Amino acid sequence: MQTPLLQVKHISKTYKLNKGWFKRESVEAVKGVSFELNRAHTVAVVGEAGSGKSTLAHLLAGELELTSGEILLHGQNLATTERQQRCMDIRLIPQKPSQSLNPRQRVGDQVIAPLTMYRTLSQELRQQKLISTLRDVGLLTEHAEYYPNMLSSSQRLRVALARALIVDPEVLVFDQTLSAMDVTMRAQLVNLLSSLQQSRGMAYIIIGHQLSMIRHLASEVLVMQHGEVIERTTVATLFSEPQTDYTQRLMHAYKELTQGSS
Ligand SMILES: Nc1ncnc2c1ncn2[C@@H]1O[C@H](COP(=O)(O)OP(=O)(O)OP(=O)(O)O)[C@@H](O)[C@H]1O
Ligand SMILES: [Mg+2]
């Protein structure tokens, strides 16, 4: 049997809070979460506020240290992978990607910045990579000369995506990235992400409640509550037979919304 691209094994994260002299409290934000993800597949993560979704995203992207458990990519434990490489393999796209852009720096310089880690890459190759990545996300070569405020919000999201894609990641994690978008932008993004997934074989982890997007992009859904995965299901089953109280409420709200808007 082939090794899955990503294997998450019983990972946990406990935040330790200093509450003054001798007083220490801790929050178990993620508790024993396990799942696997194959190349060119998408898993969605849903759950109420504070259920541990963002903590999970940061653990996967290596921005937080695990309290216990392990994450393997191509069967290799990421704890043994060099940090720079690891940051390129799994990239996190935050909730408001345009806020991660520097308003005073040209788009091209910002997209190319993660490539500077590849010291061996010539200036010419970097430039070629910049142009092809801008094209991949539906931007023009000329956009490299623009500043972020000269672009629409949809274009700024594409810039953030290009910044992640330029280092050829294997996994992209979207932490509620899609929640602030209007319907047209979401539809554009679903198309863009699907075609990028087909051409590059990347795996996606999509965190959020945009069920219309989850329906189009994901094959599996993990439901989190109090740091644990309480339901793991296919997208089809989520829509036809939600198991837990939480997913039943989620589906109910979704049906009201879609029936109300039709
Ligand atoms: N840096 C931190 N220090 C201490 N506790 C934290 C920290 N970050 C998150 N928490 C706590 O960990 C738990 C999980 O938080 P997390 O942000 O991962 O949830 P979430 O599912 O992303 O929530 P939301 O839907 O509101 O984004 C919460 O109880 C939160 O208060
Ligand atoms: Mg969050």
Give the tens place of pLDDT for each residue, 85-114.
Answer: 888 899 998 878 778 899 999 999 999 998
In a domain, 196, yes or no: yes
56 Cβ partners below 8 Å, 6+ apart?
11, 30, 33, 45, 207, 224
Domain residues for the domain of 186 are 6-99+171-261
Which amino acid would we find at residue 38?
A: N
Check pLDDT > 60 for residue 2: yes
The pLDDT, as a whole number, for residue 99 is 82
Does residue 147 form part of some domain? no
CATH number of domain containing 183: 3.40.50.300
Q: pLDDT digit string (tens) for 44-62?
A: 999 999 999 999 999 999 9
In a domain, 80, yes or no: yes
**Residues that place a CB less than 5 A from ion ligand 2:** 53-54
Q: Does a structural domain hold residue 237?
A: yes
**Residues 186 and 24 sit within 8 Å (Cβ to Cβ):** no
Residue 160 contacts residue 176 (beta carbons within 8 Å): no
pLDDT at 182: 77
Q: What pLDDT was estimated at residue 57?
A: 96
Q: What average pLDDT does the segment 173-199 reach? A: 85
User: Is the pLDDT at 23 greater than 80, yes or no?
Assistant: no
Question: Quick check: helix, strand or coil at residue 239?
Answer: helix
Dist. CA 206–CA 241, nearest whole Å: 21
Q: What is the pLDDT of residues 111-148, one digit of tens each?
A: 999 887 766 788 898 999 999 999 999 999 999 999 99
Burial of 223 (0-12, 13-18, 19+ CB in 10 A): buried
Give the model's pLDDT for residue 17: 84
Mean pLDDT of 59-88: 92
**Minimum mean pLDDT range among 32-41, 120-129, 195-204, 221-230:** 120-129
Give yes or no for residue 228 having a pLDDT over 50.
yes
* Structural domain contains residue 110: no
Q: Which helix (H) or strand (E) holds 117?
A: none
| Residue 183 DSSP symbol | H
| Residue 237 neighbours by CB under 8 Å, 6+ apart | 243
C-alpha 33 – ligand 1 centre gap (Å): 15
Does any ligand 1 atom lie closer than 6 A to the CB of residue 187? no
Structure-block tokens of residue 124: 């010419």
Domain assignment of residue 144, yes or no = no
The DSSP symbol for 142 reads G
Q: How many domains does the chain have?
A: 1
CA of 92 to the centre of ligand 1 (A): 16
Mean pLDDT estimate for the chain: 90
Determine if ligand 1 sits within 6 Å of the CB of residue 47. Answer: yes
Q: Which residue has the higher pLDDT, 224 or 212?
A: 224
pLDDT for the residue numbered 262: 41
CA of 28 to the centre of ligand 1 (A): 9
How far CA 92 is from CA of 75, 225, 245, in Å, comes to 21, 22, 29
Regarding the beta carbon of 53 and ligand 1, being less than 6 Å apart is answered: yes
- Asked if residue 77 has pLDDT above 50, the reply is yes
Ligand 1 geometric centre to CA of 15 (Å)? 9
